[in-house]
Amino acid sequence: MTPIFKATTAADFLALVPRLAGFSPSRSLVLVPFAGNRTLGVMRLDLPDDTDDVERVASTFIGLICRIATADALAPVVYTDAGFAESEGLPHDRLMSALLARADICGLDVRDALCVASDGWGSYIDPGCPPEGRDLAELRLDRAELDDLPLDPGDQSAGHALPPVDLAEKERVGRALHDLSFAVSVLQNETWADPDLPDDPARIDPRALAAAEALDDLPLLLEDALDWDPSHLDAFQAATLGWSLARPALRDIALTQWCRGLEAGDRAAEAQLRWQDGEAYPDELAASMWGEGPRPDPERLSHALELSRRIAAAVPRDDRPGALAACAWLSWALGRSTHAAAYAGEAVKIDPAHGLSEIVLTFVANAHLPEWVFERPVPRGPVTQVI
């Protein structure tokens, strides 16, 4: 059963927000939407500069909350490195005033409007908030009663680092990719120009040949991969996924299938073949890549992300952009735009013209999120913990 907490004070609520987010926000605006008395998750946004057009920014940010059909209220929280002392009161008050005005126009109730600064915390709508702020020690972020809600020790940037892979594993995966590419070329009757590779098909590593043959039914391979343990991939499992993710057509089949299921993967594979023959790619399949359609299974996306992260860490640098782009898109599909931008940014450092990575960076820069991110079920059941 999902734990349901009741925060009785503003300090209690601020102790709960990082747990709802899964990390401790910094230099952020966090919007917490409500349906009645129940929160619907959190939405973290980069904290705008004071010089930005706060009216435009506020309209955009509140517009995101309005896209959540069940939301009827919100609580905005500013996390800033600025202090009460230097701001002569609550920092970023212009931004908060614009947010509250826009929320009122849109018919959203405001449960509270809070700030966690470098030297204190307070409420923008509490006339009794002291000008120097309240003591940060009151927030008690490490409460034992919140242990059921995981909290990453870092901020929103934490957690995107690729898993550690030792040199021996990288060498095994690199060699497996080498052998797999040769096996595929032989099966396709291609001429191989690398004199360092064997020219006798009988000398192909049997594991490479088996991996190449598995690519004949890519959707089945991709579905089986969801049962693999990302931390214990053998070299040819990693090579097969790495080889596929490095090829845009196959990568898009993978992302479509991990998002929509095996049947969608089969249709995407057929559509790619027809597209190569000049037919139009079906809109309903392309829609998922743009974030349209019903909410996918987050467990499938999360496992696919862990697989892709492992592949990106294990394959040679030149083969990495495809896996990094998969990490970027899957993170974006899960609503983790900060991580998505980080992975896409790493990909374009290697390949500045990498298409999907550039698309994801554009999504993030324009605050474009998948439609399904705004599908928020209202938590049901009794309160299980009062803090």
* Residue 44 phi, psi dihedral angles, 5° rounding: -100, 135
Query: If DSSP codes are grouped into helix, strand and coil, which group holds residue 236?
Result: helix
Give the whole-angstrom CA distance, residue 35 versus residue 248.
40
The contacts of residue 274 (CB under 8 Å, 6+ apart) are none
Please give the helix or strand (H or E) that residue 122 lies within, else none: strand 121-123
- Going from N- to C-terminal start, the domains of the chain cover 5-154, 167-372
Tens of each residue's pLDDT in the chain, 387 residues: 455 666 778 998 998 898 888 888 999 999 999 999 888 989 999 998 876 789 999 999 999 999 999 999 999 999 999 999 998 889 999 999 999 999 999 999 999 999 999 999 999 999 999 999 999 998 876 666 666 666 777 778 777 889 999 999 999 999 999 999 999 988 887 544 454 555 554 578 899 999 999 999 999 999 999 999 999 999 999 999 999 999 999 999 999 999 999 999 999 999 999 988 888 888 988 999 999 999 999 999 999 999 999 999 999 999 999 999 999 999 999 999 999 999 999 999 999 999 999 999 999 998 899 999 998 766 665 433 443
Handedness of CA 323, 327, 332, 337 (dihedral sign): negative
Give the whole-angstrom CA distance, residue 67 versus residue 235.
44
Q: How far is CA 68 from the centre of its chain?
A: 19
Give the whole-angstrom CA distance, residue 155 versus residue 284.
36
Going from the C-alpha of 43 to that of each of 337, 361, 376, the distances in angstroms are: 10, 18, 12
* Residue 88 phi, psi dihedral angles, 5° rounding: 55, 50
Q: pTM for this structure?
A: 0.85
The CATH code of domain 5-154 reads 3.40.140.10
Give the whole-angstrom CA distance, residue 183 versus residue 293.
38
Please give the helix or strand (H or E) that residue 77 lies within, else none: strand 73-79
CB atoms within 10 A of CB 218: 21
